[in-house]
Amino acid sequence: MSITNAISGVTAVGGLLLLGGGMMPHNTIQALAAISVFVSAINISGGFLVTKRMLDMFRRKSDPVEHNYLLAIPGTVGIGTMLAAHAAGVPNIYQCGYLFSSLCCIAGIAGLADQTTARLGASMGMTGIVGGISTALAQLSFPPAVFAQAMILLGSATAIGGTIGHNVPITELPQTVAAFHALVGVAASLTSIASFMGTGNPDGLHKVACFLGSAIGAITVTGSLAAYFKLAGIIKNGYDLPMKNVINRPLMAGNIAAFAALMGTASHGVGLSAVCGTAVLTAVLGWNITNSIGSADMPVAITVLNSYSGWALCAEGFMLNNPMLTIVGSLIGSSGAILSYIMCKAMNRSLGNVIFGSYAELGGEMAKVEGTHTESTSTEVSEMLA
């Protein structure tokens, strides 16, 4: 989960594609893009450092010395070749750069499937992210002022993320991963809204991609924050939303209505209201559902949120016509879904039971026991049902 979360910070590429202004953004679209780049870079540096610290927990003194830093040599050669081709005006070199970065990200996630290749996988993932950001910077050929803005955003956020990842206690690493998930959701939602704002006459595909990016990103934000608060022991009784057991269906109906309004109108203002409105509705839905999941099931919830961040990234790829975002997003989304299925199967439960169990099974009876289902383990819930 940690490595896929770090790689999903490639949402920085989406923000870079919309960046503009000068040393500072000049309008709302550029400001939203700048925020996306900033929070994505925090997630990247912090996520990879958290991954490294997690892997260090399983390192033995007898393990052979690793030289994964040597991977920087082919990585530098690949990125340097792409930049040289950019300077020479070679056509389609950016697609090659994105493909190179995508393959590195795929190899990074594949490497984490086995302990013997995990550290190499983390290094491959970092190479892919650096390659993707470098390709985006080269493709856009920013004026000096905008390039300086991009580097300030990336540099300062990298320092902040590294500080968080380095200083967080070992016992708090799981909830830190959940908190970093929220940053990916923020970047995906803001980029989707900014992209719609900057497109005067969006076609059907762009509308759908903006809607999904905004909705999935928002549910990732609040769901991840709820998971963080629960794992950190911050949430206590009293954080439930009013009428929490009956508002999910109206929220879903509201999202359907927003999508219908978006696809059925030629008005840019109505469409933007629908895209922003679904972000609000799904944000409430994400908090309500995740806050109602028992603490013992929270690891599964985090893997589901991880999958959400991937699909939001995938939607962003279609929206911005960027192959790297689409490839990496679909990879993260599918891997998170598979991991969720494996974890549920190990518990002999269905994913729907874990995510919606407190509503589907307990119904109104659970509402009578204040806050009980938010802290109950699976065993305790079964005893209550009996």
Q: Is residue 210 part of a domain?
A: yes
Query: Would you say 218 and 185 are in contact if contact means Cβ atoms under 8 Å apart?
Result: yes
The closest of 12, 21, 153 to 29, measured between CA atoms, is 21
3-class SS string, 282-349? HHHHHHHHHHCCCHHHHHHHHHHHHHHHHHHHHHHHHHHCCHHHHHHHHHHHHHHHHHHHHHHHHCCC
Q: How many domains would you assign to the chain?
A: 1
Q: Are 127 and 71 in contact (CB under 8 A)?
A: yes
Model pLDDT for residues 302-331, shown as the tens digit of each residue: 888 888 888 888 888 888 888 888 888 888
Q: Could you list the residue range(s) of the whole structural domain that residue 77 is in?
A: 2-381
**What is the pTM (predicted TM-score) of this model?**
0.82
Residue 96 inside a domain? The answer is yes
**Contact of 266 with 202, CB cutoff 8 Å:** no
> Residue 333 falls within a domain, yes or no?
yes
| 307 in a structural domain | yes
In a domain, 157, yes or no: yes
pLDDT of residue 108: 84
pLDDT tens digits, the chain, 386 residues: what are they? 778 888 888 888 889 989 888 889 889 999 999 999 999 999 999 888 888 888 888 777 777 777 777 778 888 888 888 888 888 888 788 888 888 888 888 888 888 877 778 888 888 888 888 888 988 888 888 889 999 999 999 999 999 998 998 888 888 887 888 888 889 889 999 999 999 998 888 888 899 999 999 999 999 899 888 888 887 777 765 577 777 777 788 888 999 999 999 998 888 899 999 999 999 999 998 888 888 777 677 778 888 888 888 888 888 888 888 888 888 888 888 888 888 888 888 877 777 777 765 544 444 433 333 344 434 444 443 333 33
Is 386 inside a domain boundary?
Answer: no
